[in-house]
Chain A
Amino acid sequence: MTITLFLEQILNGVQFGVFLFLISAGMTLVLGIMNVVNLAHGSLYMVGAYVATTMYSLTGNLFFAFVLMVPILLVVGMIVEIVVLRTLYERDHMDQVLATFGLILFFNELVRIVWGVEGLGMNIPESLSGSIDIGVPYPSYRLLIIAVGILVSVLLYVMITKTRMGMQIRAGASNRSMIGALGINIRILYTVVFGIGAVFAGFAGLMAGPIISIESGMGEEMLIFAFVVIVIGGIGSIRGALVASIVVGVFEIVGRSILPYILLQLVPPDQAQTAGPAMASMLVYILMVVILFFKPQGLFPARTG
C-alpha cells in the first residue's frame, strides 16, 4: 500500500462523506424539527438522480440540469410533505416508518415505470473527465464534487445559523409549539424545510449520477449510511451530521481498502481473504456501536428538552 493510494482513498472517503452529508442533512433536519422518521429521503435522492440525468441528456449541460432539477425536486418534496408527511407529525414513529416505507415502494416502482427497469447511465462532462495533479493525480470530477459539496455544506450551515429562516428552524427544533405561539406559520415552514431537504438530496443524486449506476432502489443504500450518520452525529444536529458524514465516509472507504492489508500482516493469507471483506463491511456499524455505547445520544445531541 503506497502513500499515494492511501491519499487517494482518503479523498474518495471525503467525497463519499460529502454525499452522505447532503442526504443526511435534510433527513436530520426533518427528524429534529418535525420529529418524523422519513425513510423515503433516499427516494428523493434517487428521483433527483433520475431527473438530473434526463435533464442533462436533454440540455447537454450539467449546470442547466442542476437549474432545472432544483425546482422539480422542490415541488416533489413539497407535494410529498403535503400529501403524506403532514398527517404523520402527530403519529408515533412506527406509523412514520411504515408510511414512508410505503412511499419507498411507490417511488421505486414509479421510476421503473417511467424510466424503465434497466436503469440509466450518465457520462461525466468532457471538460471534467480528466484528472488534476494535487500531489496525486485525482479525477477532476470527483474533485469538483468535494469542492461543491463543501460549498453547499457551508451554505447550509450559514442558512441554519445566520438567516431568519434558519433561526426559525432551530427554534422549531427545540420547541415546536412555542414558535407556533410566537406567530410563525409552522405548516408552511415545515413544507419549505422538507422541500429544501429534498433539493439537497436531489443535488446529491445529480452529483452522484456520473459515478454510480442510476437504478431503482439506489436510495436505500444511502439511507442506511444516512441512518448511521444521524445516529452518530445526534438527531437534528447539522454540525453532528457534517462531522459524522466525513468520519463515516472516510471510515467506510479507507477501511475497505486498508483493512485487508492490515489483516495480511496479522493472519495467514487464506484467512485474511475471507475475513477481510467480511470485517470491512461491518466496520461502519461497529463504529456506530462503539460510539453509541459511550454516547447514546450521539456526538452532538441537539435537543435539550
Chain B
Amino acid sequence: MLSRLKIWVLLLSFLFLAVLPIVAEWIGEEFYISLVARMMVFAIAAMSLDLILGYGGMVSFGHAMFFGLGCYSVGILAFYELTNGWLQLFVCIFGTALIGAFVGFISLRTSGIYFIMVTFALAQMFYFLGISLEAYGGDDGLPIDTRSEFFSFFDLSEEWNMYYLILGTLTACTLFGWKCVNSRFGMVLRGSQANLVRMEAIGFSTLKYRLSAFIISGVMCGLAGFLLGNLTEFLTPEYMHWFRSGEIMIMVIVGGMGTLFGPLYGAFAYLIFEEVMAGYTEYWQFYFGPLLIILVLFAKKGLWGLLPGKENLGDD
C-alpha cells in the first residue's frame, strides 16, 4: 500500500494539473497549457514502459515504436480525411495491440541482452519504415490538419479540451496501471521478474502473462502517441527514433523504476530539465550525458524513492 504521504503527494499533483489551465489563463501564460499537456503525454508513455520494465523485468529499448505508431494512426487517417476520433482510436488500439503481439512474441523468445537488442532493432525497423513512406511525408513528417473528432460539444481544437482529454487519459491510465500491478495478473508478472523458472515450476505459463503485459504497455504507449499526434498536429518518424526510446527509459529511471507513479514525476523532471537547460546552452546534452551516468550509478531509486514508505511487497 501507499504511505499516507505518497497519497497526498499524488492527490496534490493531480489537483495541481487540474487547475493549471485556469491559473495559466489567469496570469496570461497560455503557453504553459500545451507545454504541460506535452509533459503529461510523455508521463503516460513513461508509465507504460514502467509496467513492463519495473514490474515485468522486460527492458524494452524500443518503446518509442508504439509512441510513433499511435501518432501514425491519427496522422494517416486524418490524411485521408477520416477524422472520426472513435475510428482513429480503434485503429490505434487495435494496431498497437497487433504489433505489440508480434514484437512481443519475437522478443520474448529471447532474454537479457538479446531482448534489449531485438526490441531496439525492431523499433528501428518501424522508424526506417516511417522514413521510407514518402506518401506520408517520409523524413520530413506530415502536418495533421484536423484533430480527432469525438463529440460535437467537445472540440479538440480548443486547447483546453485537448489538455483535459490528456489529463483524463493520464488519470485513467494511472488508475488502471495501479489496479493492474496489484491484481493477480500483476503479481504473476512481478513473480516472473523475480524468478522466471520458479514461476514456471509452480505452473504459470509465464509467456502468456508477459506477452499480455507487453501488449498492454504497448497499447498504453500508443495512446500517448495518439494524444501527442493530436496535440502537436504533426506526424514524424522522429517520434519512433531510438533516442526517444532512450528518453522514455530515462524518465522511468529518474522517477523511480517499478513504482508506477515515479515515472510520471520522472517525465516532468526530465522535460523541465531539458526546457531549462536548452535555454542556457545549445549543447545541453554535453552536461546531461555525464549527469545521466551519475544518476544511473548512484541514484537508482529515483525521485519517487526519495519519499519515505514502501510500496510493493518485498521492497527494501
Q: Do residues B129 and A281 form an inter-chain contact, with CB atoms below 8 A?
A: yes
Interface residue stretch chosen among A11-19, A97-105, A151-159:
A97-105
Provide the residues of chain B in CB contact with A288, threshold 8 Å.
118, 121
Provide the residues of chain B in CB contact with A99, threshold 8 Å.
292-293, 296-297
B233 to chain A, nearest CB (A): 25
> How far, in angstroms, from A27 to B253 measured CA to CA in the complex?
25
Given the known interface contacts A231-B121, A235-B114, the answer about A105 and B249 at a Cβ–Cβ threshold of 8 Å is: no
Name the CB-closest residue of A to B250. Answer: A98
Contact with A along B282-316 (1 / 0, CB 8 A): 01011011111100110010000000000000000
Q: Is A201 an interface residue (CB 8 A)?
A: no
> How far, in angstroms, from A286 to B128 measured CA to CA in the complex?
13
Number of residues on chain A facing chain B (CB within 8 A): 46
Provide the residues of chain B in CB contact with A95, threshold 8 Å.
296-297, 300
Given the known interface contacts A106-B286, A292-B109, the answer about A98 and B296 at a Cβ–Cβ threshold of 8 Å is: yes
B192 to chain A, nearest CB (A): 16
Contact with A along B118-148 (1 / 0, CB 8 A): 1011101100110111110000000000000
Chain B interface residue number, banded: 35 or more
Name the CB-closest residue of A to B254. Answer: A98
Provide the residues of chain B in CB contact with A231, threshold 8 Å.
114, 117-118, 121
> How far, in angstroms, from A227 to B124 measured CA to CA in the complex?
11
A59 to chain B, nearest CB (A): 29
Q: Do residues A37 and B118 form an inter-chain contact, with CB atoms below 8 A?
A: no
Q: Is A112 an interface residue (CB 8 A)?
A: yes
Given the known interface contacts A37-B116, A113-B286, A231-B117, the answer about A278 and B109 at a Cβ–Cβ threshold of 8 Å is: no
B222 to chain A, nearest CB (A): 20
Q: Do residues B132 and A292 form an inter-chain contact, with CB atoms below 8 A?
A: no
Provide the residues of chain A in CB contact with B61, threshold 8 Å.
97
> How far, in angstroms, from A98 to B288 measured CA to CA in the complex?
12
Q: Is B276 an interface residue (CB 8 A)?
A: no
Give chain B's interface secondary structure class: helix
- Please provide the chain B residues from 75 to 130 with a CB less than 8 Å away from any CB of chain A in the complex: 106, 109-110, 112-114, 116-118, 120-122, 124-125, 128-129
Provide the residues of chain B in CB contact with A282, threshold 8 Å.
125, 128-129
Name the CB-closest residue of A to B114. Answer: A231
Name the CB-closest residue of B to A92. Answer: B59
Q: Do residues B122 and A285 form an inter-chain contact, with CB atoms below 8 A?
A: yes
Name the CB-closest residue of B to A83. Answer: B293
> How far, in angstroms, from A98 to B245 measured CA to CA in the complex?
11
B280 to chain A, nearest CB (A): 14
Q: Is A31 an interface residue (CB 8 A)?
A: yes
Given the known interface contacts A109-B286, A282-B128, the answer about A296 and B122 at a Cβ–Cβ threshold of 8 Å is: no
Q: Do residues A105 and B285 form an inter-chain contact, with CB atoms below 8 A?
A: yes
Given the known interface contacts A278-B132, A293-B109, the answer about A102 and B293 at a Cβ–Cβ threshold of 8 Å is: yes
A223 to chain B, nearest CB (A): 9
Q: Is A137 an interface residue (CB 8 A)?
A: no
Q: Is A280 an interface residue (CB 8 A)?
A: yes
Q: Do residues A102 and B121 form an inter-chain contact, with CB atoms below 8 A?
A: no
Given the known interface contacts A94-B53, A94-B249, A105-B289, the answer about A87 and B297 at a Cβ–Cβ threshold of 8 Å is: yes
Contact with A along B204-246 (1 / 0, CB 8 A): 0000000000000000000000000000000000000010001
Q: Do residues B121 and A224 form an inter-chain contact, with CB atoms below 8 A?
A: yes
Q: Do residues A224 and B110 form an inter-chain contact, with CB atoms below 8 A?
A: no
Q: Do residues A277 and B132 form an inter-chain contact, with CB atoms below 8 A?
A: yes
Q: Do residues B59 and A94 form an inter-chain contact, with CB atoms below 8 A?
A: yes
- Please provide the chain A residues from 212 to 232 with a CB less than 8 Å away from any CB of chain B in the complex: 220, 224, 227-228, 230-231
Q: Do residues B135 and A274 form an inter-chain contact, with CB atoms below 8 A?
A: yes
> How far, in angstroms, from A107 to B286 measured CA to CA in the complex?
8
Provide the residues of chain A in CB contact with B292, threshold 8 Å.
98-99, 101-102, 105
- Please provide the chain B residues from 37 to 59 with a CB less than 8 Å away from any CB of chain A in the complex: 53, 59
Q: Do residues A103 and B122 form an inter-chain contact, with CB atoms below 8 A?
A: no
Given contact pairs A235-B113, A281-B131, enumerate 5 new A-B contacts (beta carbons under 8 Å): A94-B249, A106-B286, A106-B289, A231-B121, A285-B125
Identify 10 residue pairs between A and B in the complex whose beta-carbon atoms are under 8 Å apart, listed by A's number: A37-B117, A93-B59, A98-B246, A98-B250, A105-B288, A224-B121, A227-B117, A231-B117, A281-B128, A292-B110
